[in-house]
Chains A and B, each alone.
Chain A
Amino acid sequence: NAGVTQTPKFQVLKTGQSMTLQCAQDMNHEYMSWYRQDPGMGLRLIHYSVGAGITDQGEVPNGYNVSRSTTEDFPLRLLSAAPSQTSVYFCASSYSMRRGRRGYTFGSGTRLTVV
């Protein structure tokens, strides 16, 4: 079991560039989410998914897109990078409540800098 795998671990983008942060889990979890964490702050929910083909917005969705075509993968797309998107991004997954959810398992994060 690899758990939640995020790639890349580090990335530098120029303003206006686009890119996709990858997230994969091998635990057959229904729920997946993306968070961003700014220095000295908590995690803010960007987008989340309760199953393949279903996504919804979190607290800070602007500037990001997601899709969930498979149970395993939940990529996060930055459409046109801005310096305000400089942050550490965490992907997480969990069983559903129905299957006895016990909290999210987090990946190790992607540190993104937009210059």
Chain B
Amino acid sequence: GESVGLHLPTLSVQEGDNSIINCAYSNSASDYFIWYKQESGKGPQFIIDIRSNMDKRQGQRVTVLLNKTVKHLSLQIAATQPGDSAVYFCAETYYNQGGKLIFGQGTELSVKP
């Protein structure tokens, strides 16, 4: 069935290091993927997205990689800062499903000063 899952529930990194958060998805029909950041007590915040016709997309300090062969998605954060500490979720959807966006479990990123 449909599922989006994450390999690691927690990730601890040193300030200034790069962070990599991974996500696996099971539905090969998914064609649009989004990464969200959620800080404590707040709603999820859009970080970056990628469509299935792309392998890589870069934003400010963030890069999303998509490997459709193994159904794997990753979020790379460069020069991680204390303000990056949050829970990160990947989510998937497909054009034919309209507004149906399915979330993964989430990874908690902790940045040590």
Binding site for B on A (CB under 8 A): 4, 30-33, 35, 41-45, 48-50, 56, 58-59, 90, 92, 94, 96-97, 101-109
Contacts and interface: CB of A to CB of B under 8 A. Distances in A.
A31 B40 CA distance: 25
Q: Which of B34, B44, B95, B106 has the most CB of A within 10 A?
A: B44
B95 A97 contact: yes
5 contacts: A43-B103, A45-B103, A48-B100, A49-B99, A56-B98
B58 to A, nearest CB: 15
A34 to B, nearest CB: 11
A90 B98 contact: no
Interface of B: 32, 34, 36, 42-46, 49, 89, 95, 98-106
Contact of B99 (A4, A32, A43): A32
Given A58-B100, A94-B99, A97-B95, A104 B105 contact: no
A108 B89 CA distance: 16
A87 B98 CA distance: 25
Contacts of B49: 102-103
B89 A43 contact: yes
Nearest to A105: B46
Given A42-B106, A43-B89, A90-B43, A104 B98 contact: no
Contact of A31 (B42, B44, B99, B105): B99
Given A102-B49, A106-B43, A106-B44, A45 B102 contact: yes
B99 A108 contact: no
B42 A108 contact: yes
A33 B99 contact: yes
Contact of B105 (A30, A41, A49): A41
Q: Which of A50, A58, A104 has the most CB of B within 10 A?
A: A104
Contacts of A97: 32, 95, 98
A5 to B, nearest CB: 11
Contact of B89 (A42, A50, A107, A109): A42
Q: Which of B98, B99, B101, B105 has the most CB of A within 10 A?
A: B99
